[in-house]
Amino acid sequence: MNNRRKISILVIAIALLSALVFSYGLWAWGKNPQKKLSIGERFHYETSMTWRGVVGDLFRAKPKRPPQYKTYPETKVVKLPRPEYRGMSLEEIVERRRSVRNYSPKAISVLQLSQLLFAAQGVTGKMYGHPLRSAPSAGALYPFEIYLVVNNVQGISKGIYHYAVLGHGLELVKSGDFSRKITNAGLEQKMLGEADVTFVLSAIFDRVRHKYGERGFRYVYIEAGHISQNIYLQAVSLGLGSVSVGAFLDEKVNQLIGADGYQEAAIYLHAVGTR
Ligand SMILES: Cc1cc2nc3c(=O)[nH]c(=O)nc-3n(C[C@H](O)[C@H](O)[C@H](O)COP(=O)(O)O)c2cc1C
């Protein structure tokens, strides 16, 4: 082979290699998470499941598992009546469900409240001695705590309460009228102040993160929807109106329930009232 031929082959080889490297660069840049991503895009990207991530997760440090049940030992658990109500068919409930933002001044009964809490997070069964709840939960890890801003419930004074899942009861966290504060925290959505009760669904992230790592955050948000839907459906069956609320000032709601916003944070609100 003469020198000219050798040089031409070399030039073609270099050109082909450069084209290959350039195309790979372009492809890799397209996939590169460091490319200007919004915080939401980045959250979704970084919590996406990949086989590499699944294997990597086995070796990644995870937080310790926090206690499964939050308690308020300084307050007495007020037992709620047994949730024995049987209402309309599921098909009818699904057909009738609507978000309701206007309520009558009539108070809801403690029986109705008991039924709503049971639908949201009541214990409905056991697996190897581990209580299972009314709404599904990734790995049955149950990250949610429920707080209530009680405004107008027969026989229960105004205040903020915590739902004691195991005893199906309420623990008083703070007494007083919080209707103004919850409305303000909910960007002045007036139904929050007019509702008989507002459910605050608050998550303790490490209950899920200790097993699922950062992807656990997604599971928490998904689970909030399950719980809220149960409240929606139960409210219809009880003849009540309700609406879920995702637009609120996180810090203000966290302050109301005593959550730090990191280990535990309010994820979703759900207002309920009579029609
Ligand atoms: C994630 C989420 C957040 C929501 N946030 C609010 C809210 O902040 N305020 C409100 O009035 N409704 C809120 N809604 C209720 C929707 O506005 C309502 O579901 C929608 O208008 C459809 O009406 P429907 O529920 O009657 O079918 C929210 C619903 C979802 C699923």
Strands 197-204 and 144-150: antiparallel
Domain boundaries of the chain, sorted by first residue: 1-32, 39-274
Strands 123-127 and 197-204: unpaired
Hey, is 53 helix, strand or coil?
Answer: helix
Say how many Å lie between the CA of residue 64 and the centre of ligand 1. 35
pLDDT tens, residue by residue, 119-143: 999 999 999 999 999 999 999 999 9
The CATH class of 39-274 is alpha beta
Say how many Å lie between the CA of residue 270 and the centre of ligand 1. 10
Tell me, rounded to whole angstroms, the distance of Cα 252 from its chain centroid: 17
Structure tokens at 31: 């996939």
Q: Please state whether the predicted TM-score (pTM) of the whole model is above 0.75.
A: yes
The best mutation among 97, 98, 99, 190 to test binding of ligand 1, ranked by most ligand atoms within 8 Å of the C-beta, falls on 99
Question: What average pLDDT score do residues 91-120 get?
Answer: 98
The best mutation among 243, 249, 270 to test binding of ligand 1, ranked by most ligand atoms within 8 Å of the C-beta, falls on 243
pLDDT of residue 30: 55
Mean pLDDT value across the chain: 93
Q: Which residue has the higher pLDDT, 267 or 61?
A: 267
pLDDT tens, residue by residue, 27-59: 565 555 567 999 999 999 999 999 988 888 888
